[in-house]
Structure 1
Amino acid sequence: MTIGLLAALVLVLAIGGFILGRMRALKSAKGDLRKLHSLPGYYGQTVALFTAVPAFLLMALWLLAQPALIEARVTQMLPASELPEGANIGLVMSDVRRIAEGLDLVIARGRLSEDDIATMRADLSDIRSRMADVGVALGSNVKPVVFQAAKEYRTLNTLAHTGMVIAVLAIALAGFGFAMLRIRPEFRARNVSESFVKVLLIGASLVAIATTVGIVLSLVFETVHFFQLYPAADFFFSLTWNPKFGGGSDLGIWPLIWGTLYVSLIALAVAVPVGLFAAIYLAEYASKKVRAIAKPLLEVLAGIPTIVYGLFALITVGPMLRDYFAQPLGIGSSSSSVMTAGLVMGIMIIPFVSSLSDDIINAVPQSLRDGSYGLGATQSETIKQVIMPAALPGIVGAILLAASRAIGETMIVVLGAGAAAKLSVNPFEAMTTVTVKIVSQLTGDTEFASPETLVAFALGLTLFVFTLVLNIIALIIVRKYREQYE
């Protein structure tokens, strides 16, 4: 039974529990709803929750724990003395999983029987030929101990999956029966149902918190590992970025920080004026008809995939800047430049500034406007001297949110700014950012334990700290200068 089918079966039981629970509640009250503590639907919800929630929790925990436990068991069957010299246990386990999947496929195609796997009557060459018949490649250098581990891996997976199906169905049926037996007219079904939902909401919140903590801890642990292999002083104070897989790398972060800040500043120089002026027009000057058309069209920019913006930078903006500005002025000859990426990224983040600023300006009480007009101020004076100061904290928060978005952008920089890590003030030269180098250091067949690969986690932690600081600054500004109106 597949995972999807098992989940569907549990859902069917839960739906049936809802219907039967509701019917049992009505029957226990002999059709008189006044005798029931709660509405009939709450009794059905109680049965459905006791049926589905424990079963799905068990399934989730089982699926999380099963691979680790099985791999730990199978790894014990792979003594180093019987493996190829210098073999990596992680790569060997990859072969074990691949062979186990191949065995499943060969059995499914009828090329091999369960008895052949169980008794090993078929030798390795025979099994290899049968697997090749269905397109599963088994290398000639596979050792018998690896094949034996694959057989054990497959057996344990099958047993664990069967056990999970039995356990999940058993706990679903147990929850179903337990909830049905509790249904009586005086049973406080609404309280139980609402408490269950409250626990689920708390659990969802804890999942979000745990995910954040897990991301941070994973970055911290791998960054510590990186600094054990590479001097922290060279990472933070070197002005050269020149990774060389195999040793002798210069992994100074400052060229990447400079490129990130440079591209982000150009993007903000484009997005902030355009977005802010658009927000002021839409909130204060535009008619309802114009606003109803212009605001959705402006927000369409936020829905365009970043890869499309990157292609626009590569094909249109980059060549235009090179042909009409960089080459005639003698300050650049490449279509990939900081200016290209900055301009296109600025267009992309305009909705972040305009939409949020528009909402904030509209939130300013109309009484402030009326008071200003009553004192003889014009509309422009009211906007400059009343509305903008009142909306300033929210606008600053919107700008910092757009800055965080710009700092974390990757695809536009890859296609628009190039991949050259350098310290330069010429905006028509190719540069790169932290996010681009994170991708490049983790792309391809690389040794995960090398500093050239682990540096990606140090870069990621640095980027996380930058965006965190920006968000904290925005929060401080909003709380300090926020105006509250009755």
Structure 2
Amino acid sequence: MSIGLILLFVVGLGVIGFYLGRRRALTSVSGDPRKLHSLPSQYGQSVFLFTVVPALLLLAVWLLAEPRVIDSRVRGVVEATGATGSELDLKMADVTRISEGLDALVQRSTLTEDQLTQMRADMADVRGRLADVGVALGSAVEPAVFQAAKQRRALVQTSSLLKGAGVALFAIAGFAFAISRINPTFRARNVSEGVVMALLIGSSLVAILTTVGIVLSLVFETASFFRMYPAKDFFLSLTWNPQFRGGSDLGIWPLLWGTLYVSFIALLVAVPIGLLAAIYLAEYASKRVRSVAKPAIEILAGIPTIVYGLFALITVGPALRDYFAQPLGLGSSSSSVMTAGLVMGIMLIPFVSSLSDDIINSVPQAMRDGSYGLGATKSESIKQVILPAALPGVVGAVLLAASRAIGETMIVVLGAGAAAKLSLNPFEAMTTITVKIVSQLTGDTEFASPETLVAFALGLTLFVFTLGLNVLALYIVRKYREQYE
């Protein structure tokens, strides 16, 4: 039974239970809802929840456990051939592919001639799968592999039937149990509100659990990397030279320097321009100008980063090379730190200006009036009253822009190049940590090699670095906020 049919049955039974539960509650009090402990709809909700939630939980657990159980049963047949390691993984992949192809062939045998004609015309993907299976079955497939494929297909079919029956029984049992509990004194409201509370708590835990999962995955893989490569060399070496065949030098400093250099130039462009734009929009611009200028600035945030990267590669890079780098003898490449930093700074302007504008507008008007009443001019009020009061929010805007700059990849790939080096020349090509994370995880390199696992060490280092920025920003915000509370 397909997942869609199972969900349709469970939800449909729950909807029926909602109306039956509501009707049963009203019938028990002769149609007078004032005699009920809870609202009639809450009785229906309790039936719906008892019908749907246990069944869906069983379905979720089954879907998570099913592949592992089936693969463990089938793996024993393949291991009997003496295959180990990567050879075992390849044979297991063949087992999965052949078993799925057998399902396709069985499905094909049940089609009419018209359906086959339509399938040949409109379903090229199915034809490709059938062709692949035909080649596999026609070639020298080991009998054990083919037997394992048939066993896997049988287990999948059996599991599908048991899954559908088990979920349906759970739904029916929950339906019957909830209907039997309905009476005028049943606290249906507590059940309904309890589920809503659990849903709210679960939603709140999603972000926390996601963060914990990300950190743990980085920590475990980083620990595996440091068992293969010395941590001392990773943190102290000034060379980045992955060989993929031994003798690699995987020092983080060239990548960290490139990340900080590009981000510094980007913030040097975005923070002054964005903050000045926010001050103008909040304090000087008329409503008509503000209604046009602010959306126009925020359009920059909606442009895809690949477009910024192409702009850096085609326009900004050649211009900097022809008018600055070559005349000054600083370089001849259009890919440089300055190129990526300038374009990234343009991209970050709305992050600073929009948030800073909202923060400045949130400063109480009484503070402005008090400053004007003491004889301060508009510019003096902005410098000495409004900006200090808005400083915590402005720091948050700058932090958001810095985090965005540190995590950017596409602009750096197209604008700054991929050279890992330590240099003060802003017109030389460099790279960042995020670019190397992508490059180390792509390709045909074995995942268990140090050259691949180093991506997780780079990611964990970047995470710790950005966490430090957040702690610093929190300290600044708390220090200055106390003066205005």
Task: Give the structure 2 partner of residue 325 of structure 1.
Answer: 324
Go from structure 1 to structure 2 and tell me whether the alpha carbon gap of 1:290 and 1:13 turns closer, same or farther (over 3 Å shift). farther
Task: Give the structure 1 partner of residue 122 of structure 2.
Answer: none
Counterparts of 2:258 and 2:404, CA distance in 1: 15
CA displacement 1:128-147 (0-9 Å, x = unmatched): xx998644342835322222
Counterparts of 1:15 and 1:301, CA distance in 2: 46
Go from structure 1 to structure 2 and tell me whether the alpha carbon gap of 1:367 and 1:211 turns closer, same or farther (over 3 Å shift). same
Task: Give the structure 1 partner of residue 417 of structure 2.
Answer: 418
Task: Give the structure 1 partner of residue 69 of structure 2.
Answer: 69
Q: Is 2:101–2:130's contact at 8 Å kept on the other side of the alignment? A: no
Structure 2 counterpart SS, 1:31: coil
1:371 deviates by: 0.3
Counterparts of 1:369 and 1:237, CA distance in 2: 52
CA displacement 1:60-79 (0-9 Å, x = unmatched): 22211222222222222222
Go from structure 1 to structure 2 and tell me whether the alpha carbon gap of 1:294 and 1:7 turns closer, same or farther (over 3 Å shift). farther
1:20 deviates by: 2.2
Length-normalised TM-score, structure 1 = 0.91
CA displacement 1:196-220 (0-9 Å, x = unmatched): 1101221233333222212111111
Counterparts of 1:359 and 1:377, CA distance in 2: 23
Structure 2 counterpart SS, 1:390: helix
Go from structure 1 to structure 2 and tell me whether the alpha carbon gap of 1:34 and 1:445 turns closer, same or farther (over 3 Å shift). same
Q: Is 2:336–2:430's contact at 8 Å kept on the other side of the alignment? A: yes
Counterparts of 2:339 and 2:72, CA distance in 1: 50
CA displacement 1:167-214 (0-9 Å, x = unmatched): 222212222222222222222222210111101221233333222212
- Match for 1:473: what amino acid? L
- Flag structure 2 segments of 5+ consecutive residues without an equivalent: 112-126
Structure 1 counterpart SS, 2:176: helix
1:153 deviates by: 2.0
Task: Give the structure 1 partner of residue 435 of structure 2.
Answer: 436
1:283-294, aligned counterparts within 5 Å? Answer: 283-294=282-293
1:47-446, aligned counterparts within 5 Å? Answer: 47-79=47-79, 82-83=82-83, 87-110=86-109, 134-136=131-133, 137-138=135-136, 140-446=139-445
1:15 deviates by: 2.2
CA displacement 1:397-417 (0-9 Å, x = unmatched): 211121111111111111111
- Flag structure 1 segments of 5+ consecutive residues without an equivalent: 113-129
Go from structure 1 to structure 2 and tell me whether the alpha carbon gap of 1:72 and 1:383 turns closer, same or farther (over 3 Å shift). same
1:247 deviates by: 1.0
Counterparts of 1:359 and 1:76, CA distance in 2: 63
Length-normalised TM-score, structure 2 = 0.91
- Which region of structure 1 is more displaced relative to structure 2, 173-182 or 257-266? 173-182
Structure 2 counterpart SS, 1:76: helix
Go from structure 1 to structure 2 and tell me whether the alpha carbon gap of 1:479 and 1:5 turns closer, same or farther (over 3 Å shift). farther
- Match for 2:2: what amino acid? T
Counterparts of 1:22 and 1:300, CA distance in 2: 50
CA displacement 1:151-171 (0-9 Å, x = unmatched): 222222222222222222221
CA displacement 1:281-336 (0-9 Å, x = unmatched): 12111222322222222222222222222222222222222222222222122221
- Which region of structure 1 is more displaced relative to structure 2, 380-389 or 29-38? 29-38
Structure 2 counterpart SS, 1:88: helix
Task: Give the structure 2 partner of residue 32 of structure 1.
Answer: 32
CA displacement 1:335-388 (0-9 Å, x = unmatched): 211111111111122222112211211121111011001111111111000011
Task: Give the structure 1 partner of residue 462 of structure 2.
Answer: 463
Q: Is 1:33–1:39's contact at 8 Å kept on the other side of the alignment? A: yes
- Match for 1:19: what amino acid? Y
Counterparts of 1:62 and 1:86, CA distance in 2: 28
- Match for 2:19: what amino acid? I
Counterparts of 1:316 and 1:55, CA distance in 2: 58
Counterparts of 1:132 and 1:181, CA distance in 2: 50
- Which region of structure 1 is more displaced relative to structure 2, 394-403 or 431-440? 394-403
Counterparts of 2:130 and 2:32, CA distance in 1: 69
- Match for 1:60: what amino acid? A
- Match for 2:376: what amino acid? A
- Match for 2:256: what amino acid? I
**Identity of paired residues, percent?**
73
Q: Is 1:365–1:485's contact at 8 Å kept on the other side of the alignment? A: no
Q: Is 1:102–1:131's contact at 8 Å kept on the other side of the alignment? A: no
Structure 1 counterpart SS, 2:270: helix
Counterparts of 1:297 and 1:175, CA distance in 2: 55
- Match for 2:328: what amino acid? L
Go from structure 1 to structure 2 and tell me whether the alpha carbon gap of 1:36 and 1:50 turns closer, same or farther (over 3 Å shift). same
Q: Is 1:17–1:48's contact at 8 Å kept on the other side of the alignment? A: yes
1:241 deviates by: 0.6
Alignment root-mean-square deviation, CA:
2.2
Counterparts of 1:150 and 1:380, CA distance in 2: 78
1:87 deviates by: 4.0
- Match for 1:51: what amino acid? T
1:81 deviates by: 5.0
Go from structure 1 to structure 2 and tell me whether the alpha carbon gap of 1:315 and 1:23 turns closer, same or farther (over 3 Å shift). farther
Q: Is 1:25–1:185's contact at 8 Å kept on the other side of the alignment? A: yes
Counterparts of 2:130 and 2:207, CA distance in 1: 47
1:261 deviates by: 0.5
Q: Is 1:318–1:340's contact at 8 Å kept on the other side of the alignment? A: yes
Task: Give the structure 2 partner of residue 117 of structure 1.
Answer: none
Counterparts of 1:440 and 1:181, CA distance in 2: 60
- Match for 1:171: what amino acid? F
Counterparts of 2:397 and 2:130, CA distance in 1: 60
Counterparts of 1:461 and 1:141, CA distance in 2: 46
Counterparts of 2:11 and 2:466, CA distance in 1: 41
Counterparts of 1:93 and 1:370, CA distance in 2: 75
